[in-house]
Amino acid sequence: MNTLLERNSRFKPVAFALAIIIATAGFSTASMAQDSVTNSHTHAPSLQTVALQTIAQDDPYEMVETAASKTFARIKSQQSNIKNDPEILRVIMEEELMPYIDYRFSSFKVLGKYARQVEKKELLEFVSVFREYLITSYAVAMGYYDDQVVEFDPARDYDGRSDVTVRAIIKDNDRPDIKVAFKVRKDPRSGEWQAYDMIAEGISLLSSKQSEFESILRKDGIVKVIESMRESIRKPIVLQDRSSNAAPEENKEKV
């Protein structure tokens, strides 16, 4: 049986564009990555632990660009190791990307009305597994990375706002430019900014996953969704030929 990552053709271009943004910000006017949770997958990347520096989260534009630059630098320095062991990409996503993603908010957005219809124990399990699913998804997407360039729009005034959109364009000599946007929200308690969604050429990651999960939730319930995500998480990371990744036309939103 195919996993969620394989079945959902809408997700690949979104995650791929996100991966490019993270990985290539160091080339241009630059780009994202809290609490560490043990990965539920069974792979054990052989990567030496590195000292991580916390990025300030009081400026949404600077946070996105700085985190992406750091992620790119780490990926670039680990290229030879990644070729030998692609599972290292999970570690990089875990340590550099996830601290700057509000995966709890994202998981509730993906569940929609079903978040109020499931048991608390199942809801907490879903949030935890969804986090690992995001790590896996981004790591898979990073397998398509190949020296693209990203240019960010100038920062806008966000004073008094709690939700902003950080826009950018991915430049690739072999393909048309890709318009992308990060949705970033300010936590009302901590005052820190975190990304919760990404839109590539009008395709929202959250909307895509919500559409995919909704049919499973309606027919089989949240336990089945969790099982499917775990199945995807267990699959090994494989470096891909990105030329096979075609952008679809569905589920578009205005960027």
Question: What's the token pair of residue 255?
Answer: 């960027």
Looking at residue 77, its pLDDT comes to 84
Q: What is the pLDDT of residues 124-144, one digit of tens each?
A: 999 999 999 999 988 887 766
Q: Do 24 and 149 form a contact (C-beta atoms < 8 A)?
A: yes
Per-residue confidence (pLDDT) for residue 35, from 0 to 100: 34
Going by the DSSP 8-state scheme, the letter that residue 235 receives in this structure is S
- Residue 192 corresponds to which tokens in the numbers above? 């820190």
Q: Which of 177, 182, 148 is nearest to 163 (CA)?
A: 182
Tell me what pLDDT residue 169 has. 84
- The reported pLDDT for the residue numbered 4 is 57
Q: Which two tokens stand for residue 11?
A: 């997700």
Show the low-confidence residues of the chain (pLDDT under 50).
1, 6-13, 22-51, 245-255
Spatial separation of the C-alpha atoms in residues 209 and 213, rounded to whole Å? 6
Q: What per-residue confidence (pLDDT) applies to 215?
A: 92
pLDDT at 240: 67
Residues 109, 197: contact at Cβ < 8 Å?
A: yes
pLDDT of res. 52: 57
Spatial neighbors of 229 by CB under 8 A, at least 6 apart, are: 4, 129, 130, 132, 133
The per-residue pLDDT for 45 is 46
Confidence at residue 26, expressed as pLDDT on a 0 to 100 scale: 37
The pairing of beta strand 149-152 with beta strand 163-172:
antiparallel
Domains and CATH numbers, the chain: 4-37+55-234 (3.10.450.710)
